[in-house]
Amino acid sequence: MNLYIENMTCGGCARSVTAAIKDVDPAATVAIDLAGKRVHIESAQPAERFTAALDDAGFPPQVEPA
């Protein structure tokens, strides 16, 4: 799944986003494109779990087409 996170602007933000994702699925593969404000997640968990966790962490995402 690909997400766009407008307010992910620094390394600290990227670490917080990764931590929120790993809280949902510790086995998830996470790739951060900080310059593009995009996150790619590979996981068997449904997208809704990640978007809710990121909302709660203060990083509301937009789901992008694969």
Cβ contacts of residue 23 below 8 Å, gap of 6+? 53
Stated pTM of the model: 0.94
The CATH number assigned to the domain holding 15 equals: 3.30.70.100
Query: CA 20, CA 13: separation in Å to the nearest integer?
Result: 11
What's the confidence (pLDDT) of residue 66?
Answer: 65
What's the confidence (pLDDT) of residue 64?
Answer: 87
In angstroms, what CA-CA distances link 12 with 2, 7, 21, 47, 64?
20, 11, 14, 23, 23
- Find tokens 């997400």 and name the residue: 3
Domain span at 11: 2-64
What's the confidence (pLDDT) of residue 18?
Answer: 98
What is the residue-level pLDDT of the chain in tens, covering all 66 positions? 999 999 999 999 999 999 999 999 999 999 999 999 999 999 999 999 999 999 999 999 999 876
Query: CA 56, CA 35: separation in Å to the nearest integer?
Result: 23
Domain count, the chain: 1
